[in-house]
Structure 1
Amino acid sequence: MMIVPWVIWLILRDRKNSARIFSAGLLIMIMSEIFDAIGVSFGKWSYPVKVIPISTVSFSFRLSVIPVFAMLLLQYKPHFNPYIKAIVFGGLGAYVGLPLLDLIDLHKTIDWSLTYSFFVLTLMYLIAHWFSRRNSFEEIKNNEDRH
């Protein structure tokens, strides 16, 4: 779950827009890390199996599967309704991904509804979509080049 999504991304990525879309994927990673740290700290869920021995949480879903899935959604059919894409992203992540992780004992839901995860993931996708559409992605120039 940690390597395969990134290999898929490298093969399928749009090379012209990969920096813009990758930046949105990094934003998803940061948001998921923050939300996950908060959830684990408040005892809403836990990770019974450590993917990396020094880690207390599972990296693969948050740092690979979720951001790569979001980046692929951002890349394909870019003019398709982002709210529908966000609902698909949130629905698959919350109602398919998390139960699968629970099933294989990589994640344990304690005091949390999957519907909360649906709303969080949907919002994360919408923020990443907004971020990926900013016009501020231009070539970096020296101050002398601007005069």
Structure 2
Amino acid sequence: MMIVPWIIWAIFRDRRNSARIFSAGLLMMVISEILDAFGVSYGKWAYPIKVIPLATVSFSFRLSVLPVFAMLLLQFKPQLNPFIKAIIFGGFGAYVGLPLLSMMDLYKKIDWSLTYSFIILFFMYLLAHWFSRRNS
């Protein structure tokens, strides 16, 4: 989950706009790290298994899968309504990605709803979209 998304990004990225889109991906990484730290600290979810000595196992999901997926959505079909893309991003992350992590015993919801994750991911994508469209 850590390397494959970046290989996909390297193959399919738009070389003319990659710095702008990559900066939006970096913004998504920072926001997801901060929000994840809050969620774990307040006992909303946990990561039962630690593969590497980092705060959580979802490191690869937050710093690879989510930002690369967002960057690819930002790049492809730029004329498509960003709200539709945000729904796709939030739906994939919340209702596909997190349940897959749960099935692999890498993520455990404690006091959290997947709908909350959907809403957060929806707005994170819209922020990344807005950020990627800035001229400076």
Q: Same fold (TM over 0.5)?
A: yes
Deviations 1:25-47 (A, max 9, x none): 00000000010000000000011
Per-residue deviation, residues 80-128 of structure 1 (Å, max 9, x unmatched)? 1000000000011000000000000111111100000000000000000
Matching residue of 2:40: 40
Task: Give, in whole Å, the separation in 1 of the partners of 2:109 and 2:68.
Answer: 23
User: Structure 1: which 5+ runs fail to align?
Assistant: 137-147
- The equivalent of 1:57 in structure 2 is 56
**Alignment of structure 1 residues 1-147 onto 2, 5 Å:** 1-52=1-52, 54-58=53-57, 59-136=59-136
Query: How far did 1:49 drift?
Result: 1.4
- Could you list the structure 1 runs, at least 4 aligned residues long, displaced by more than 3 angstroms after superposition: none
Q: Report the secondary structure of 1:119's partner residue.
A: helix
- Look up the equivalent residue of 2:6 and give its one-letter code: W
> Match of 1:103, as an amino acid?
M
Looking at structure 1, the residues matched to 8 and 49 of structure 2 have their Cα atoms a distance apart, in angstroms, of 25
Normalization by structure 1: what TM-score? 0.90
Q: Following TM superposition, by how much is the alpha carbon of 1:60 offset from its aligned partner in structure 2, in angstroms?
A: 0.7
Aligned residues: 135
Q: Which AA in structure 2 matches 1:90?
A: G
Give the secondary structure class of the aligned counterpart of 1:55. coil
Structure 2 gaps, min length 5: none
TM-score normalised by length of structure 2 = 0.98
Query: Residues of 2 paired with 1:132 and 1:93: CA distance?
Result: 20
**Residues 1-26 of structure 1: CA deviation (Å, up to 9, x unaligned):** 00000000000000000000000000
How many Å separate the matches in 2 of 1:96 and 1:5? 16
CA drift of 1:56 comes to: 2.5
User: What's the Cα RMSD here?
Assistant: 0.6
- What is the letter of the counterpart of residue 67 of structure 1? P
Structure 2: which amino acid aligns with 1:56?
A: A
